[in-house]
Structure 1
Amino acid sequence: MRIQKRTAVAVAVALIGSLTLIGAGTVTATAEETSVALPSASFRDIVVDGVHDRVFVSDPTGGSIVVTDYAGTVVQQITAEEGAAGLALSADSSTLYVALSTAGAIAEIDTATLTETHRYPTGSDTSPQNLAMAGGKLWFGYTVGSSGGIGSLDVASADPAATLVPSGRYWYYAPALASSPADPDVLVAGEEGVSPATLAVYDTATGGLQKRAERLFTSSPSISFLNDFAVTADGQNIVVAANNPYDHQIVRLSDLSSNGSYSSWQFPNAVAVATDGTVATGAVGDFVKTYRPGSTWPSLHEYGVNDLQRDGLAWAPDENRLFAITGFSYGSAPTLHVLPDAGKLDTTLDVQAPATSRKGKDLTVTGRLSAAEPFPAGTTVEVTRTDAEHPAGTPVGTFPVSTATGEFTFTERPRGTGDITYTATYKGDGLHTAATSQTTVTITK
């Protein structure tokens, strides 16, 4: 369920418009959200392929990868992927890498054919858990015996082989990993499931792990039981989801010092950053929320998706679709939620006209397009007219929207009598959702 939020300005504009003239129509566009139960026994990771419009969801217990389209429809289930855990896509989205936690290997899957093409062992008794691309290599967090570590796989070489790489610290568990295209040589590793939590930042440019920063979060902020983290699109900050505190903390990548937070109610467990910098946060006891780049309040949208899973958020590249995974905690099946336009502002479109007008007289129709942030110069709305002569509708024209007020207007001189319905459509842009609104006028003699 999506919880709609509109700014006071937008609400005021809509109210003023509705009082000005009779026969006004107001619509706030909301793209359709879908929820699809998946044929999975468990959940560990989710990634989105923007080239083939596919969503990959790993199922460790079932040893499979569930593949869906952007609508959430299952297109294939890739089986015999033992202990499928962490996922990572190559830069061109041609290859999906899968950490096979119970097979001690990393699988390579062709995203066009959805078949496994290679399998690379990660070392004796190792259990690879988490994956990330950095410095032209695939990095994996693994456990071996009672401790964890970080390894790499040079996927660009003719004969890739896994290497266990010294990281300069002791890991109790397999480190979670994250990176960012803004600084492709940086790798961030995190200690999950312990108190206090630890983050370490490495430079991978030389092929090894050169530590830039490391911090045990005992205070300012105190962070414990880390669940998820992501690097912001500008490569400057890390957004952290942990059981404590009850906020998504922001720390600087340069020195891991505190840099603010996103408000949450309790048990933050997921975070994802879109390519344009829009941030999505999720918590066990809170809504999934989205935020404009660089802003921590107010949220763009709030979604009431119950039982969000740890690491259960992912954006579609160069899109505004957000995907969320719920289920398991209350005995329900794992479910994929498709949340379109999650990174866009809601748009309100008002069309206003008198209830009646006379045949052969000028009829002026006005409208207003509004949102929490202004529309770009050159914004237009398209208007169609439906009447007895044109029951299927006919174009009236495309009209410019004032960048200062959001208003538009046009005048017609109806030639017949009866009801005329005007439909105004705004197609949306990279920041604003599409919107459609109608108003009906009765034309008399």
Structure 2
Amino acid sequence: MRIHKRAALAAATALIGSLTLIGAGSVTATAEETAGAAGVALPSASFRDIVVDGVHDRVFVSDPSGGTIVVTDYEGAVVGQITAEEGAAGLVLSADSSRLYVALSTADAIAEIDTATLTETNRYPTGTGTSPQTLAMAGGKLWFGCTIGSSGGIGVLDVASPSPTATPVPSGRYWYYAPTLASSPADPNALVAGEEGVSPATLAVYDTSTGSLQKRAERGFSSSPSISYMNDFAVTADGQNIVVAANNPYDHQIVRVSDLSSNGSYSSWQFPNAVAVATDGTVATGADGDFVKTYRPGTTWPALHEYAVNDLQRDGLAWAPDENRLFAITGFSYGSAPTLHVLPDAGKLDTTLSLQSPGTSRKGKALTVTGWLTAAEPLPAGTTVEVTRTDADHPTGTPVGTFPISATTGEFTFTESPRTLGDITYTATYGGDGGHVPATAETTVTITK
């Protein structure tokens, strides 16, 4: 389920393994984030929003200039393009991911897309000149930020009713532009509205349980913290905080949903322009002149991962519902097209796997190899490591066994009495789990007479 408002993804990066020599006959494998993944250039003229459908493993990217929705799989390959979606801007998925709603900014309407067939099934007019821009689900209804007269406003569409009709709803404040909207399943009746691109930035929190907008809190951020020219914001998975990306200050600010008071920050370098929150609470932050960083739920330091990026787009981050795959949109510098990057395991902890053995051993003599599998947080009880051996008699490898690690130290050992002369290589493999990345390590021993 989508937790943040409108997102998009941007990062030229991949997760790769590196091997570092730590001693005779011993190698350790660690995970590193590096720039350079080419990504997939999308058949788009522009970019506005991105959402991820975890039921069909699809990514939807809106292109307002081209009037299309580009559809990719989880690897970034384009699998479809939904056309005739005039001014396609904000996107939001239904709770069951069966429908995609699209704000049609130049058609004064909201389109309903069947996510299985990738076809438009309904179109709901929002009113002449409303130009809907952003969407969010709250209180069981679809809310949209739009234009009302010469200013911004908020409307609602009850998509569950037999005959959904879009209606403007008084918000109790003046918006210069169509406000951006956000919500969280943890507080399903709360709707957060914010005005981007102005100074000072403004946020308002509403209760939508009655179908109207009952203001809970409102604040212009002129001080403590001072926030201006907001680019993106997202509600945390517990519904307690809002993470804000703005040109000023050069940090992602955290404010409380209850009263919009300051509650910390995530360190950035300059021009924060994107933020996304995974369903488990993992936070991803991005900035035009900095890394994309991920953080464990409830923490602001240190970063779980850092990804070097180039030309991250505003609203440029989105999580898959499995919390481990992060998508990013870059592009437009030097005329480049929007590009989708896939950052696998972005929500998982790195693991370090190492093996230690003697450099040589006599034929038929007992040979003991010791290994360690560790992570920043404890691995689950019962975690095991698979070990294979490659030698002259088994050039493609042969299983040695499956070995449990110590719950306290991560250590494991195995003993063999090799009878094949020459170099033998032991390879240990940890397959990873829902919270830890896979790891592999090797060690080579020379067997003599």
TM over 0.5: yes
SS in 1 for 2:22: helix
Task: List aligned pairs for 1:319-358, cutoff 5 A.
Answer: 319-358=323-362
Could you say which residue in structure 1 is the equivalent of 2:302?
A: 298
Offset at 1:75? Answer: 0.6
Query: What per-residue deviation string (whole Å, max 9, x for no partner) do you get for residues 154-210 of structure 1?
Result: 111111111111111111100100000111111100011111111000111111111
Aligned pair 1:198/2:202, yes or no? yes
Distance 2:174 2:53 in 1: 34
SS in 2 for 1:282: strand
One-letter amino acid of the structure 2 residue matched with residue 141 of structure 1: G
Could you say which residue in structure 1 is the equivalent of 2:29?
A: 27
Q: Normalising to structure 2: TM-score of the pair?
A: 0.94
Could you say which residue in structure 1 is the equivalent of 2:272?
A: 268
Task: List aligned pairs for 1:81-160, cutoff 5 A.
Answer: 81-160=85-164
Contact 1:380/1:400, CA 8 A, preserved across alignment: yes
Contact 1:349/1:437, CA 8 A, preserved across alignment: yes
Task: List aligned pairs for 1:220-235, cutoff 5 A.
Answer: 220-235=224-239
Distance 1:346 1:2 in 2: 16
Query: What per-residue deviation string (whole Å, max 9, x for no partner) do you get for residues 382-419 of structure 1?
Result: 11112223222221111111122221111011133232
Could you say which residue in structure 2 is the equivalent of 1:9?
A: none
Query: What per-residue deviation string (whole Å, max 9, x for no partner) do you get for residues 225-251 of structure 1?
Result: 111100001111000011111110000
Contact 1:138/1:155, CA 8 A, preserved across alignment: yes
Could you say which residue in structure 1 is the equivalent of 2:374?
A: 370
Match among 406, 410, 433 for residue 406 of structure 1: 410
Contact 2:325/2:343, CA 8 A, preserved across alignment: yes
SS in 1 for 2:436: coil
Contact 1:3/1:302, CA 8 A, preserved across alignment: no
Distance 2:48 2:96 in 1: 23
Distance 1:18 1:83 in 2: 56
Distance 1:188 1:142 in 2: 14
Moved more, 241-250 or 413-422: 413-422
Distance 1:319 1:178 in 2: 19
Distance 1:389 1:409 in 2: 23
Contact 1:34/1:71, CA 8 A, preserved across alignment: no
Structure 2 unaligned spans of 5+: 1-11
One-letter amino acid of the structure 1 residue matched with residue 269 of structure 2: W
SS in 1 for 2:203: strand
SS in 1 for 2:355: strand
Task: List aligned pairs for 1:153-302, cutoff 5 A.
Answer: 153-302=157-306
Moved more, 49-58 or 142-151: 142-151
Distance 1:63 1:50 in 2: 24
Distance 1:171 1:397 in 2: 65
SS in 2 for 1:290: strand
CA RMSD of aligned residues (A): 2.0
Structure number with higher relative contact order (C-alpha < 8 Å, ≥ 6 residues apart):
2
Contact 2:51/2:93, CA 8 A, preserved across alignment: yes
SS in 2 for 1:205: coil
Query: What per-residue deviation string (whole Å, max 9, x for no partner) do you get for residues 70-106 of structure 1?
Result: 1110011111100000000000001000000000000
Offset at 1:37? Answer: 0.7
Query: What per-residue deviation string (whole Å, max 9, x for no partner) do you get for residues 21-57 of structure 1?
Result: x211211145995611111100000000011111100
Moved more, 134-143 or 367-376: 367-376
One-letter amino acid of the structure 2 residue matched with residue 422 of structure 1: Y
Distance 2:395 2:217 in 1: 67
Contact 2:15/2:344, CA 8 A, preserved across alignment: no
SS in 2 for 1:424: strand
Moved more, 269-278 or 300-309: 300-309
Query: What per-residue deviation string (whole Å, max 9, x for no partner) do you get for residues 119-176 of structure 1?
Result: 0000122100000011111110001342011011111111111111111111110010
Residues 4 and 161 (structure 1 numbering): CA distance in 2 closer, same or farther, change over 3 Å?
closer
Structure 1 unaligned spans of 5+: 7-13
Runs of 4+ displaced beyond 4 Å: 1-6, 30-34
Offset at 1:376? Answer: 2.1
Distance 1:422 1:391 in 2: 12
Contact 1:353/1:441, CA 8 A, preserved across alignment: yes
SS in 2 for 1:294: coil
Contact 1:31/1:341, CA 8 A, preserved across alignment: no
Task: List aligned pairs for 1:309-320, cutoff 5 A.
Answer: 309-320=313-324
Contact 2:15/2:343, CA 8 A, preserved across alignment: no
Distance 1:239 1:297 in 2: 15
Q: Normalising to structure 1: TM-score of the pair?
A: 0.94
Moved more, 175-184 or 375-384: 375-384
Contact 2:270/2:287, CA 8 A, preserved across alignment: yes
Residues 384 and 406 (structure 1 numbering): CA distance in 2 closer, same or farther, change over 3 Å?
same
Contact 1:213/1:256, CA 8 A, preserved across alignment: yes
Contact 2:33/2:308, CA 8 A, preserved across alignment: no
Count residues with an aligned counterpart: 436
